[in-house]
Structure 1
Amino acid sequence: MPRAASLLFLAFTFLSAAFGADLPRATPESQGVPSGAIIDFVEHASTEIDTLNSFMLVRHGKVIAEGWWAPYRAEDTHMLYSLSKSFTSTAVGMAIAEEKLSLDDRVLDWFPDLAPAEPAANLRAMRVRDLLRMATGHFAEQVRNYPWDAGSPAKRFLSLPVELKPGTHFMYNTPATYMASAMVQRATGQTVHEYLGPRLFKPLGIEGSWWETSVDGVSMGGFGLNLRTEDIAKFGQLLLQRGQWNGKQLVSAAWIDEATALQTSNGSDPNSEWEQGYGYQFWRCSTGGYRADGACGQFCLVLPEEDAVIAVTSGTADMGRVMKLAWTHLQDAMQQDALPENAAEQRKLKQTLAKLQIPTPQGAATSPMVEDASGSVYRIADDPLGLRALALRFDGEGHADGATLVYANDDGRQRIALGHGEWKRGSVTSVKGLSAMLNSVVAPPSGAYPVAAAGAWESDDTYQARVCLTETPYYVDVTLHFAEDGVTIDAKHNAVLSGEREQPKRVGTR
């Protein structure tokens, strides 16, 4: 390896080691990928997707590129949404290997205490494999907007009419994954998160993970797992290696083959990434391979033919675009043999990755309105989102140090530091009131939400604050239009699971 390329490789390795990573690192060209192709992917992703949070590219078991769009960081966990499902499937496979479960077990046999008095024939026929392949016999409207906090989720699931014969009809069904998680817990005496700890997470070097639990103390299964980007990549590499890690078989190779193969047909559109077939909580991909994915663009893309894994976290409504860019700029560029080292392109790639950032609001640090607006408390009456009061305070000479957004909700008073032209980090114990989407975000085990924020005056009377929850896909733009007697508050999400990105206007008075 030429000296310049060696130095760049060492720089990548040093930066990665600082975050406690333990997948080996290599230059892209040494693993058959041109650095220029990765640059193209990153540049297109930065301009075409709102917004990528991170990505990691692994080829032949080595990380050849990785990047985080500030304020996201390598050491932070990230909400995975339905990417969690594939971990639940893996737990089921491990429990089957330990002879604690079987794919042919009837669902009702594991929940006699929650079963209806007279279960219908289709419910009696439902088996573990039907849960995993999303073929339970339910219709979409039965499980859409599932009331997770309204009593026992498992009991509610078993009370739903099963209109179709299980195994005959694909219908995406997150409550079905919850039932698989609950079955693992009943079979092993541990939540899925606890069960995977010594069997999967510890051997892979995954630390600091957490998983949301239901009112019944069950890992949510279909969502709620939080991991680092590299942890996603490790999981993908384990799948590529058919369950083997450091010489030990963690997961049955036969299970991975079966779980990632087509188990249910889910459409016939050759251009749709959601109609290529479904396995046991894994999607098949249009260009070969398979994936685990989650809402707003969380991906573990596994490409066996190319011996590659692409891990992505993001906050976007256009998940298909993320995959299209990955296929076009990354998968298509992968060569079978190593390429000549390209120090110039590797240097450019390193510089490109170092500059990744979600844009901060653009505008001035100060305004003629500052003296009047700064510190004034604006009260919001009868806000359905729960915002009770808001104030904006400015710091430093010329207000170059940014500002502080102070807001009150039913949980108390919160303070968020806002940088000017840069992200400032902090934490709050409640995000209720800022927007409808943030109202639904579950707090980490610490009870505090890590945030990063920035702001600027768009005009003399308008200030925009961008608040990012750095362990989720979300940021919200809060725009304050000041007038003599009050403030009008606009808020807009970068992505939502349901509803509108733009929130209703609210008015605060002094």
Structure 2
Amino acid sequence: MSSLPRSTPEAQGLSTAALDSFVAALDASEQEIQTLTLVRHGHVVLAEEWAPYRLADRHMLFSVSKSFTSMAIGLLVAAGQVSLDDQVISFFGPDELPETISDNLAAMKVRHLLTMTTGHSQDTVERLSRDRRMVGIFLGLDVEVEPGTLFVYNSGATYMLSAILQKVTGETLLDYLRPRLFEPLGATEAIWDVSREGITTGGWGLSLTTDSLAKFGQLMLQRGEWEGKQLIPADWVDAATSKQVPNDNETNPDWQCGYGLQYWRARHGAYRADGAFGQYVVMFPDQDATLAITSASPDMQATLDLVWAHLLPAFEGGKGDGTPRPQRLEILPPKGAVPTGNGRTYTFEPNHSMLAAVRLDDDGTGTFTFSHAAGLWGNPSEASQEVVCAPGDWRELTDKLTDPPSRMVTSAHADGDAFVATFRYLESPFAVTMTCRVDGDTMTIDGRNNVGFGPAEFTLRSVT
């Protein structure tokens, strides 16, 4: 398996003390870093994991997926199978196209999908992602302005790139990239979500280890070359990571530096792939370095600010601010008194959390039954799993309701008369806290998601 060599920071022109200060700053921040890998001159000089998270685990990457999709389109272009000036509608048949094709839809080209300038006034993904005909829905949406004239971040556009690849090659995006990118990089653990119409989601859904993420960043720095083989054409890498369109309408400073072909330009000459809640591959061509981070960040700009404040001086020979790194990097379970229960089982109507039942026992443990059948989206599977939460250290188990099964940890403590259960899903940024209170025959759960696309808080009440 391909892997990057390890080195001391000093051998690659960096100070261990400066990297210690960087790690300490990340640990002290509110960004909940979970793993990171820093590569300099092709060597790993820093690789950290905040227990119970592990570098060796897959991690959901969200929109980092887009940059991998870009590389697949680059291969199609190089093979002459797709042109940037091909009309989007040219790849789809009458059963997918609207009855009336507007001038703006007709003018939409592959390059507009790549540069997020499709002519839509907002991201299309929310209007697509719960429908079985995502391609048809996308093509049927109003294209409000002329394509190429307005940057609007649009995950649905990347989904369409994946759909086009599948039309052209007869393969899913993941199957297409396995022999061409993932296997040469040694990233054989790659998994990628598939839509209900059988298309790799493209704009999201890819999971890789942090090591594989760092290797992808190094591949970009090497302009698509890996171990003597040109995996991606160098001119495509150059174009993808260069400013193709302005994005001054974005808010944060590192989101206003121009957009490439599914890559963000950044300050200080850097560029990056990033995903929701703080998944990053930041590439520093001037410093010949790449940084991969997985996290549950509430403020993605704040993480980049820490990178600029600590890594840029380190690249220039700085020794750091003298802050020692913590002796152990870890995310501790919440602490409190040992909870109690009455041994009764409380059941719940179908809900977003897929929670079917809860039993709290007098020994301080809680048993939470999750089931696909208890979800809101009509999943016909009857698969269910009992998850035990108990006081003390994290209790590790396998979440068998994910595909493939994945690592999770749980804990429990009392908050007054409430039983507080914490669930961390370690191959994602997600953690859920459920505060359970019993009043007679009813249990009320006040839940909180650490990060997410919907409301942070929710309430569940048992049925009698």
Pairwise same-fold verdict (TM > 0.5)? yes
Task: Give the partner amino acid of 1:115.
Answer: L
Q: What is aligned with 2:311?
A: 330
Aligned sequence identity (%): 38
CA drift of 1:288 comes to 1.5
CA drift of 1:484 comes to 5.8
Does the CA-based 8 Å contact 1:297-1:313 persist in structure 2?
yes
Does the CA-based 8 Å contact 1:83-1:292 persist in structure 2?
yes
Q: What is aligned with 2:387?
A: 416
SS at match of 2:458: coil
SS at match of 2:143: coil
Note the alpha carbon deviations across 1:408-449, whole angstroms, 9 max, x for none: 54246522233533222112344xxxxxxxxxxxx32x3x34
SS at match of 2:311: helix
Aligned length: 453
SS at match of 2:429: coil
Structure 1 window deviating more from structure 2 (131-140 vs 151-160): it is 151-160
Q: Does 1:375 align with 2:343?
A: yes
Q: Does 1:427 align with 2:383?
A: no
Q: What is aligned with 2:449?
A: 493
Q: Does 1:362 align with 2:326?
A: no
Shift of the 109–46 alpha-carbon distance from structure 1 to 2, 3 Å rule, reads: same
CA drift of 1:130 comes to 0.6
Q: What is aligned with 1:454?
A: 411
SS at match of 2:28: helix
CA drift of 1:239 comes to 0.1
Q: Does 1:466 align with 2:437?
A: no
Q: What is aligned with 2:220?
A: 239
Task: Give the partner amino acid of 1:363.
Answer: G
Q: Does 1:265 align with 2:239?
A: no
CA drift of 1:326 comes to 1.1
Q: Does 1:405 align with 2:373?
A: no
1:96-495 equivalences in 2 (<5 Å): 96-113=77-94, 114-140=96-122, 143=124, 145-267=126-248, 272-335=253-316, 352=327, 355-364=328-337, 366-367=338-339, 370=340, 373=341, 375-380=343-348, 387-393=355-361, 403-409=365-371, 410=374, 411=382, 413-418=384-389, 420-430=391-401, 443-444=402-403, 446=404, 448-459=405-416, 461-482=417-438, 486-495=442-451
CA drift of 1:69 comes to 1.5
1:2-21 equivalences in 2 (<5 Å): none
Distance 1:173 1:103 in 2: 18
Shift of the 41–463 alpha-carbon distance from structure 1 to 2, 3 Å rule, reads: farther
SS at match of 2:35: strand
SS at match of 1:242: coil
Shift of the 41–302 alpha-carbon distance from structure 1 to 2, 3 Å rule, reads: same
Does the CA-based 8 Å contact 1:415-1:428 persist in structure 2?
no
SS at match of 2:282: strand
SS at match of 1:478: strand
Q: What is aligned with 1:55?
A: 36
Distance 1:69 1:394 in 2: 32
CA drift of 1:481 comes to 3.0
Does the CA-based 8 Å contact 2:56-2:211 persist in structure 1?
no
Note the alpha carbon deviations across 1:458-510, whole angstroms, 9 max, x for none: 34x2232210111111001112234565543221111112x321213x34478
Distance 2:161 2:333 in 1: 42
Task: Give the partner amino acid of 1:481.
Answer: R
CA drift of 1:394 comes to 6.5
Note the alpha carbon deviations across 1:346-383, whole angstroms, 9 max, x for none: 9x75x74xx2112201123x35xx3xx15321234676
Shift of the 43–137 alpha-carbon distance from structure 1 to 2, 3 Å rule, reads: same
Distance 2:69 2:156 in 1: 12
Note the alpha carbon deviations across 1:328-348, whole angstroms, 9 max, x for none: 1112211379x9xx9xx99x7
Structure 1 window deviating more from structure 2 (50-59 vs 418-427): it is 418-427
- The runs of 5 or more residues in structure 1 that have no matched partner are 1-19, 431-442
SS at match of 1:222: coil
SS at match of 2:355: coil
TM-score (norm 2): 0.91
Distance 1:173 1:199 in 2: 26
Runs ≥4 in structure 1, deviation > 4 angstroms?
A: 268-271, 381-386, 482-486
Distance 1:288 1:394 in 2: 59
Shift of the 414–293 alpha-carbon distance from structure 1 to 2, 3 Å rule, reads: same
SS at match of 2:268: coil
TM-score (norm 1): 0.83
Distance 1:210 1:78 in 2: 10
SS at match of 2:332: coil
Shift of the 408–103 alpha-carbon distance from structure 1 to 2, 3 Å rule, reads: closer
Q: What is aligned with 2:379?
A: none
Shift of the 494–269 alpha-carbon distance from structure 1 to 2, 3 Å rule, reads: closer
CA drift of 1:193 comes to 0.6
Distance 2:347 2:399 in 1: 20
Distance 2:212 2:362 in 1: 39
Note the alpha carbon deviations across 1:183-237, whole angstroms, 9 max, x for none: 1111222111111101111111112111111122111010011100011100000
Does the CA-based 8 Å contact 2:128-2:138 persist in structure 1?
no
CA drift of 1:61 comes to 0.6
CA drift of 1:392 comes to 2.7
Does the CA-based 8 Å contact 2:62-2:203 persist in structure 1?
yes
